[in-house]
Structure formats: structure tokens, C-alpha cells
Homo-oligomer: A and B are copies of this chain.
Amino acid sequence: MPAERRPNRGPSAAAANRAALIAAAREVFAGAGYDAPLSMVARAAGVGQGSLYRHFPDRVSLALAVFEDSMAELEALAARPDATLDDVLGLITEQSIASTAFVAMVTVPPQPDERILALRERVAKLLAGRLPEARRAGRVRAGVTADDLVLAVGMVALLLAKVPARERPGTAERMWALLRRGIEP
């Protein structure tokens, strides 16, 4: 009688498990950092280790899934015709504060992983999309590229990741005060 084994809820549970894993990973990555043990994620999701590996064969694929939401949110904002570059940067910053791992990983990939680079491209594209208009509006200097912005965003995210959560808003504020002036004409 090996204690109480969670019942095999069958294939129909697959989608629910997947969702639970993503939600759990979001929490865990936020709380314990991107390097948290995967077993912690599985436990938090109430799911077996094996299921985690079935859905997400490695840490990166789990992270990608976790970050997809944030990414979508970002792209949704960027797609709105009235969204300015500042709006986009603002949202990224908010996301950095809430989930440093996401922005840092997306903008400054820790390993040369194909899939992560793809994400980075999406961010770059999204920023590039807002850039011409921002230039016209006199918000951005000529020399500043979308790549510069990606790097700046990532840089701030890396910093925020090292800062206690309660100091993040203030720190983000201070760094963007510098960077914004550096971006403006």
C-alpha cells in the first residue's frame, strides 16, 4: 500500500495538466528564479515529474510556454494602432518587475537556443514596428535602433532580477529616467 498514489486521470487530463504546469512554472520562476528545480514546478502543479517531461522535454520549452502569454500580451499592445513606443517599453518594464526571468531571457538569451532567439526576434520586431512613428513624434533619436532598445530592456530586466522585489519599481524608474533621456533626441 504505497501511501496514496494520485490517480491516473487519463488522457483527458492532459490539457489541464499542461495548463497547471505553466501556471505553476510562472509562480515558481517568479518566486525561486529561473533556475528553480523542475521538481518544484511539478509538485506545485500537482502533477507527476514524468508528465512535466512529457509536456516539456526541457527547461526551455517550459519557459517558452510560460512566457508565451506575456509575449502575446506584448504583441497585442504593439498591434494597437494607438500604442506608442513608450507604451510598449512601459509594459515590458512592468513585466520585468513582475517576472524578471521572462524579459531577461527573451532579450538576452542565456544560451544560444534557437527557440529563444526566435522570441527575441519577435520582441525586436515589435519594437521596430513602433520605432518610425516614435521618431516622427520626436520621442526617439535617429541613431537609436530597435536592437538598442532590446538590449536596454534586457539590461534593466537583468538588474531587476538581482534586486529585492520591493525595490524593483523604484529601481526601474531610476534606470529608465536615465535611459529615456538617452533615447530621446
Contacts and interface: CB of A to CB of B under 8 A. Distances in A.
Contact of A179 (B14, B163, B182): B182
A180 interface: yes
Contact of A2 (B15, B108, B144, B163): B15
Main secondary structure of the interface of A (DSSP, over half): helix
Contact of A174 (B110, B148, B159): B148
A183 to B, nearest CB: 6
A155 interface: yes
Given A108-B162, A110-B162, A162-B108, A155 B175 contact: yes
Interface of A: 2, 11, 14-15, 104, 108-110, 143-144, 148, 151-152, 154-156, 158-159, 162-163, 171, 174-175, 177-183
The quantity of this chain's copies bound in the complex is 4
A154 B148 contact: no
Given A108-B159, A162-B108, A178 B174 contact: no
Nearest 5 A/B pairs, CB to CB: A178-B182, A158-B158, A181-B182, A155-B159, A182-B182
Contacts of A181: 181-182
